Homo-oligomer: A and B are copies of this chain.
């Protein structure tokens, strides 16, 4: 299956990427590489509502943070899609950077980030996986529990 067919099978619809929360753009293409801006778990069509707000795990549970990471990835793919004619021309994700807004004794950033990585694996194939960096940060814009960005390779 192609990435687009896989999206359809998963019932995921890409959409207009969330409006940037500052003076920048959702995605830029240079050559065959697309960079997306850092994405928050803004729910499409909700006028800016986040799927969860606060630190992991004292305010936002691990499970909700993982879901938020999944929402961020859909937003990131929606942003990347603005730079290509067809979503299927995205060959793979080169890089995923994940920032988790967490308590300073939280050490399961990898589990949160898996909410993003596992979805990417389903879409682009497990044998075509990405590199990842996941860290815990002091705070994030809008008190989001997670922010992430991707670098994608285009055919």
In the complex with contacts A30-B33, A33-B30, A35-B95, A24-B131 CB distance below 8 A: yes
The total of chain A residues at the interface (CB under 8 A) is 61
Which residues in window 104-150 of A have CB below 8 A to B? 104-111, 113-114, 117-118, 120-121, 126, 129-143, 147, 149
Q: Is the CB of B94 within 8 A of A28?
A: yes
Q: Could you give, for residues 44-85 of chain A, a 1 whenever the CB lies within 8 Å of some chain B CB and a 0 otherwise?
A: 000000000001000000000000000000000000000000
A140 to chain B, nearest CB (A): 6
A42 sits at the interface (CB 8 A): no
* Nearest 6 A/B pairs, CB to CB: A38-B133, A136-B139, A23-B117, A24-B132, A37-B131, A22-B110
A99 sits at the interface (CB 8 A): yes
A27 sits at the interface (CB 8 A): yes
